Amino acid sequence: MCAGQIYGIVTLIWNYALPVMIFAYCYGRIFHTIRRQSKRLAGHVGRGQDVPMATSSRGPNAGQVQQQATGTTTGDKLSHTELNVLKTMVAVIVCFVIFLSPSTFNKIVLSFTVR
């Protein structure tokens, strides 16, 4: 292997494979945390306790303690928040792969061509 080929492989790993793995790991951790918190929240609601909800509205009931009976996770069913995180994770990774694939693989092919 010549220096150009090694450079092409290192560039592929550094600029393409590593960011995809970092995206997948970070979004996986976010998803795992949301899933764990949803199950914990579902356990509190199941016992009939009031759960403080963070609200961003300025309505008359903003900041009050509410009981959340819907939108929690039970078993393997995904909540609305979990589904949104999963969709975002897939969209970010797919867009990154689609938009960076042509230039990255073009560089790889050019580094392995015989001159």
Residue 19 falls within a domain, yes or no? yes
Residue 100 falls within a domain, yes or no? yes
For residue range 66-104, list pLDDT tens digits in order: 434 444 445 567 888 888 888 988 898 899 889 988 888
Backbone angles phi, psi at 78, to 5 degrees: -85, 140
Domain region containing 35: 3-53+77-112
CB-CB contact of 63 with 54 (8 Å): no
Nearest to 41 by CA among 32, 50, 29: 50
Residue 40 falls within a domain, yes or no? yes
Q: What is the number of structural domains in the chain?
A: 1
The predicted structure's pLDDT at residue 29? 92
Residue 106 falls within a domain, yes or no? yes
Which structure tokens are listed for 63? 């900041």
Residue 60 falls within a domain, yes or no? no
Mean pLDDT of the chain: 75
41/69 Cα distance (integer angstroms): 10
Q: Check residues 1 and 82 and name the one with the higher pLDDT.
A: 82
Residue 32 falls within a domain, yes or no? yes
Backbone angles phi, psi at 52, to 5 degrees: -70, 130
Residue 71 falls within a domain, yes or no? no
Residue 7 falls within a domain, yes or no? yes
